[in-house]
A and B are shown apart, each in its own frame.
Chain A
Amino acid sequence: MTAEAIPDFPFDRATALEPPTELAELREQCPVAHVRLPSGDTAALVTRYDDARAVMADPRFSRNLARDGAARLSTTKDGGLFSRRKMGSEDISEGQGHLRWRRLLSRSFTVRRMEVWRPRIQAMTDELLDSLVAKGSPGNLSAGLGLPLPVRVICALVGAPSEDQDKFAHWSRTMLTLTRNTQEEVDEAYQGFNTYVSDLVDRNRANPGDDLLSELTQISDSEDGRLSQAELIATVRGLLLAGHETTSNMIAIMVAMLLSERERFEAVIDDPELIPGTVEEVLRLDSTLSAIGGVPRFITEDVNLSGVEVPAGSTLIPNTPAANRDPRKFPEPERFDPRRENNQHLTFGAGPHFCLGQPLARMELQVVLGTLARRLPSLQLRDAPGDLQLRTGGISGGLQDVWVTW
């Protein structure tokens, strides 16, 4: 194969909400496909459900693309978020160190601990919707609800002031660059974010509260090997980033996906019991949240995927939108079916790194959908669905501002 034959990735697409046609073609004809990344490096795109799941869940495969020989995604010299050597993340990102870290955090995300958040998320949603409605139709759903809700939620959970949302939204976006930022901007973002978080830790130490940060700071200060100071800072930075960026994008995507085919929204108005199933179908059929469709893995052992031998030293990208439409797993995969059974989509991953914040994200999406259906049943997109624009230039994708009328 010549270098010219390797297609550039991410692929272009006709409209913001539809996946690029290449994904389905590759899934059927070339389930492990070489693609060229914005950095110029190549990776293998994995598009079938069973393969993508296997890649995500295999504990032998590394999420650390700072390793020698791993592909870089981004145009910056550090290679982007997954390739950059980050202080405090090394030990907790895989293996036994990851398990130790995960066990520390997961106690705050159990079903029981999450229950107290539903009424709080409802109150935050109502308050944000009050001000959106007060400003009058049309309203900017992304700026008025999509971004501020997840920020308020994760800030309340972690114990950070939500007034700083613009700051860390900016740092997060910059850290997630694919092509849009310079190395200098990225370095500044890390520096700004780290300083902000270590100040937050210091303030919190002087004045502890009933939040995750206070709990983790105490654990870290006890110096019993469970969490170093650098790991504490990396963790809080990671939670603030992961907690708001994906969920805020997904709220806007959900509203766009449901209003662009409005019978989906109307079905929820008629039968609120469809809320959880509708959210799951949105999650399954989303194709814009991530520009590359999944979190890459670097493999240090040969692996066989759909009969293709993939050599050690390859970087694999499990592509969730392609996998979530695999007819081998989902009957009539293109059909939006809120009553679908066994909807085991891969949007929150699989295996040991399965999204830590998944119960929180699901709850936020369900509360938003329920509240919109109840309070604004006349909700519509202001613009034609075909005019929705993708956010480009980042590893994280999503839609540019979604405007609605009611």
Chain B
Amino acid sequence: MKVSVDQDLCCASGLCVMKADQVFDQREEDGVVIVLDEAPPLDQHEAVRAAAAACPTLAIQLSE
């Protein structure tokens, strides 16, 4: 699985961090998403899919 985000779309909701904090974090200065692990291990995939589905701005792209 490859994870990428569009920071221009991100509204800093933090919902992805709530779902998968091993993979997503927020920038200190404006809360915009950062990806901690672009190729997360298998045990994270479900959480990452939930994060992508929950994202209110559809800013998270996954390729599997």
Contacts and interface: CB of A to CB of B under 8 A. Distances in A.
B62 interface: no
B28 A106 contact: no
B14 A359 contact: yes
Interface residues of B, number: 20
Contact of B12 (A109, A342, A353): A109
A107 B29 CA distance: 6
A351 interface: yes
A156 to B, nearest CB: 20
A352 to B, nearest CB: 6
B11 A352 contact: yes
A230 to B, nearest CB: 22
Given A106-B30, A342-B50, A111 B57 contact: no
Contacts of B29: 107
How many residues of A sit at the interface, in one of the four size bands?
20 to 34
Given A351-B56, A354-B56, A111 B26 contact: yes
B13 A354 contact: yes
A342 B53 contact: yes
B56 A107 contact: no
Contacts of A191: none
B32 interface: yes
B48 interface: no
Interface of A: 57, 102-104, 106-107, 109-112, 114, 342, 344, 348-354, 358-359
10 contacts: A103-B30, A107-B29, A107-B31, A109-B31, A111-B17, A111-B18, A111-B21, A349-B56, A352-B9, A352-B57
Given A57-B58, A350-B56, A353-B11, 5 more contacts: A106-B30, A107-B31, A348-B56, A349-B56, A352-B57
